[in-house]
Structure 1
Amino acid sequence: MERPLDFLNNLAQNDWLIGYNSHQFNQIFEELYLELTQISACGTPPKIILAEREPLRFLASFIAACAANCPVFLCNPDWGTQEWQQAFDLVQPNIILGIGNRQWEIRNNDNYQCSIPNAPCPLIMIPTGGSSGQIKFAIHTWETLTASVQGFTEYFQLKQVNSFCVLPLHHVSGLMQFIRSFTTGGKLAILPFKAVESGQIFNIKQSKFFISLVPTQLQRLLQNPELTEWLSQFNTVLLGGAPAWNELLEKARFHRIRLAPTYGMTETASQIATLKPDNFLNGKISSGQILPHAKVTIRNQQGEILNSNQIGNITIHAQSLALGYYPKNREYQTYFQVDDLGFLDEQGHLNIVGRNSDKIITGGENIYPSEIESAILSTQMVTDICVIGIPDKHWGQALTAIYIPKKSDISALKIQTLLKDKLSKFKIPKYWIPLQNLPRNSQGKINRQQLQQIATEFLQNSVK
């Protein structure tokens, strides 16, 4: 199998970075690679925290760490004090790149012991945050990341992948765009999303490029006619990170955006299912077919595999699967059962219906918020919506809709009237709370804990 150095040598004569200097990339790589190999020669390879803010330096440092077989932890330079404290306590790094005034800092490297003795080197730790808000690092290797690339290229029948990256490189969604281009000899354009939004775009042939977006980014680009036209020229617009709402998908389809909704996560090194753009434009709504490097089964609570169109727990088998969460690995575990619920249809397309953890039980009935949210969005009266359960002494939980009305004169009663023909009575929310904005992170994922607090305070004040 080709290693990072092999791929870099293949790219040596190519001007593969758009917006940055490929020669400068090689210079930064060589300088750091030499330092790291010298340090490693004196003992165990040092643990590296990588939080470079500048993309060229981040990517060159990442490849240098991988080539030197050093375990590398990707970190967000914009983390707050509490998050950094979590990271330092967990990692106890020997080398820190990108934080503080110095370009990098060497610490005592006597404390490193590989948590997975038989794992292939290097170990690549990618940050992920669960609903708890605690920082975790999914343990990947060069093999798991390149397995994801192999599945991607086979699925789209490509030899080279050209990527236009507007997502953070420390996040799996940004990192994998780099890995695809780097390992296939493709071109990589990197530009902050804010620059794209302001119209500062590179002069490239979009029909040769993939671009990855989260739903909130797609929504913002579609508000600008010029950027909508620019986006419609891309070969494929991968969409992931959070569920997209129907109105957004319809708008993209109307403008002939070659959208490819995806399903994946940090633990699977990005997508394991993707809907191809032609299927999307023809009206198909799903997360698409399973990529060649992965397999998905739908199981009931007893672990039995279900048939087509039966909803159950999603279990993923994939060559791109993380080995566990640092510092512990999943010994001999070749599958990953996620919290998501879904089904496979007759065409083998994966359909997501909600999350086990989001399930609301009211009056003994199991309700999944995504169904209610889709119905409310289809009324065309709200621009954003989240349905949660609030503790209720009579019903166990009371359905509560927190929404952004399209117009100030739209009342909850108007929306409820339209829902009567769409939903059973017990599925229509009892409480309705209008807001100007819903709390979402940079990936577009809703902060449900914050909404619980908002709803609780709102209802307490209403009673008073």
Structure 2
Amino acid sequence: MSSIGDPQTIGDIVRHQGRERSNSIAFEYEGDVLTFGELDRRSNRAANALASLGVGKGDRVAYIGKNSHIYFEILAGAAKLGAVMTPVNWRLARPEVSYVVNDCQAKALFVGPGFAELVGDIEGQLEHVAGIFGSEAPEGKYPGYPEWRDGFPDSDPMVPCAVDDDAVQLYTSGTTGYPKGAILTHGSIFSSRMNERNAEDLHDWQKTVEGEVALLAMPCFHISGTGYGLGTIFNGSNAVVLPEYDPSRALDLIENYNISKIFMVPAAIQILLDHPRVREVDFSNLKYITYGASPIPLELMKRAMEVLGCGFVQMYGMTETTGTIVALGPEDHVPEGSPRMRSVGTPLKNVEIKVIDADGNEVPTGTIGEIATRSPKNMKGYWKRPEATAQTIDPEGWLRTGDAGYLDEDGYLYIQDRVKDMIISGAENVYPAEVENAIYSHPKVADVAVIGIPDDKWGEAVKACVVVKPGEQLTEAEVIAHARQHIAGYKCPKSVDFIAALPRNPSGKILRKDLRAPYWEGRDRAVN
């Protein structure tokens, strides 16, 4: 593998790989093959096409659609202009989609197959968009991006970009009910890879092997999807792109493409293991499965190790840290289980971790507190949210994760609870405030609190505790249906408890721990 050398931005890396491995495959998608040379040339055309809409340095470009190689092509084209890709979670409800597109002030919007109707419904609400295109072909009334792109030259615009320039903006659920755009720079995306060029500093699971093929199965509106795809571009390796996670398709691709590496969330691993064909598949080429976003039960891990027979690496991180900052390697995954398997591992190179109290003071080893991290991987901040940024990142660069945990004497990090009220269900972040706002708008609801409860499949499930107005009647189905009109389906409660009053402290704050306690009884940590 040739060295990247000096390139440190997305555009420069695409240019480099286009020269060094022009005919090597970068992405394979639904039978379509995109080489590094084609990625370089097409992204030049994309950049020139975007420039014709007035897109320039610092402008945002939005994409709503399932995973596709075209997404990375458009991202690379935007990067060559110094513009910023903002993928939109296609599972969001219409009001949420329009909020994100307007908040990032996107000048162009690319629509994947099947989403033209959604975009058509909100088009009149979009305040900054100058052009809408079907990403793979014409979508309804929207012209196709490929034909539009090919009307422009493949000359490189060569807009100067720096490592600390904005590159990708990913939206996270907000504590106040509005999602926040986390700004990731070229440097935060590639810093860990730049710092680990020396193979001697790498674990085996981090090394890139000539000819290896990765499966990109997680959604690109998450750092797990976008980061994974950009990582394969950096490494000069090949990624097979799955539009969305489907266990049958995943098994077919593992067999037919000799997949060697996959990133998955625990719920996806369980779904794969439950597939009736899983024991018929040859997994001999599969070397590593990296997983994260939520812990994995020991029994599920034992089963995965037995059936899949590969190495497993647990990863801990978040959108605001541009993904993984702590990892638990294969050597700590043992079939009989061990205390370390309850940890998320140790920090990656050049990542600092400390545990702090409410005042920001570091606590002793073994003491539970809020986990804070400092590294080049930390986001620049939240888009147009200086107060939220200041609450998350202190002047010395330490980012508060919102997770509670402790470090042991060997530097292993253990997650115990969440300082914030966030629920993680199937690797999706859900803030109670978002769900409560949606439910509270029902005319029969007097009060509501939302909590996360253990769920064997999704890790946690959303539960609503509802107080009905005097003299009114309300059913669980009605509450869920009302919420679904306002927020994404995965955020809606899976169950509803009707109670007489919500427990509150003297200042009126809802005591969520009291509501959660019966469901988490007997567990030694309050995350599942």
**Do both share a fold (TM > 0.5)?**
yes
> How big is the alpha-carbon RMSD for the aligned residues of Structure 1 and Structure 2?
3.9
Partner residue in 1 for 2:316: 263
Partner residue in 1 for 2:13: 7
Partner residue in 2 for 1:169: 220
Partner residue in 1 for 2:203: 156
Partner residue in 2 for 1:347: 410
TM-score (norm 1): 0.70
Contact 1:289 1:350 survives alignment (8 Å): yes
Distance 2:462 2:45 in 1: 52
The count of residues paired between Structure 1 and Structure 2 equals: 380
1:71 aligns with 2:134: no
Partner residue in 1 for 2:178: 134
Higher RCO by CA contacts (8 Å cutoff, separation 6 or greater): 2
Distance 2:265 2:95 in 1: 26
Aligned pair partner of 1:246 in 298, 305, 313? 298
1:120 aligns with 2:133: no
Contact 1:313 1:341 survives alignment (8 Å): yes
CA drift at 1:385: 6.6
1:346 alignment partner, SS class: coil
Partner residue in 1 for 2:428: none
Distance 1:147 1:339 in 2: 23
Distance 2:144 2:218 in 1: 23
> Counterpart amino acid of 2:372?
T
Which has the higher mean CA deviation after the structures are superposed, 176-185 or 256-265? 256-265
CA drift at 1:447: 6.9
Q: Which runs of 5+ in 1 are unaligned?
A: 107-117, 360-368, 393-445
Distance 1:54 1:213 in 2: 15
1:280 aligns with 2:333: yes
Distance 2:492 2:228 in 1: 31
1:335 aligns with 2:398: yes
1:182 alignment partner, SS class: helix
> Counterpart amino acid of 1:69?
G
From the superposition, tell whether residues 458 and 328 of structure 1 become closer, same or farther in structure 2 (CA, over 3 Å): closer
Deviation readout 1:173-203 (Å, 9 max, x if unpaired): 0011111111121221212455542443152
Instruction: State the percentage of identical aligned residues.
Output: 19
From the superposition, tell whether residues 459 and 216 of structure 1 become closer, same or farther in structure 2 (CA, over 3 Å): farther
1:211 aligns with 2:287: no
> Counterpart amino acid of 1:356?
V
CA drift at 1:295: 1.0
1:314 aligns with 2:387: no
1:97 aligns with 2:114: no
Contact 1:151 1:291 survives alignment (8 Å): no
1:173 alignment partner, SS class: helix
From the superposition, tell whether residues 87 and 325 of structure 1 become closer, same or farther in structure 2 (CA, over 3 Å): same
Distance 2:101 2:288 in 1: 38
> Counterpart amino acid of 1:355?
R
CA drift at 1:151: 6.0
1:144 alignment partner, SS class: helix
**Residues 218-237 of structure 1 correspond to what in structure 2 (within 5 A)?**
218-224=269-275, 226-227=277-278, 230=282, 233-237=285-289
CA drift at 1:102: 2.7
CA drift at 1:63: 0.5
Contact 1:47 1:94 survives alignment (8 Å): yes
Distance 1:306 1:357 in 2: 19
TM-score (norm 2): 0.62
Distance 1:146 1:270 in 2: 11
Which has the higher mean CA deviation after the structures are superposed, 319-328 or 225-234? 225-234
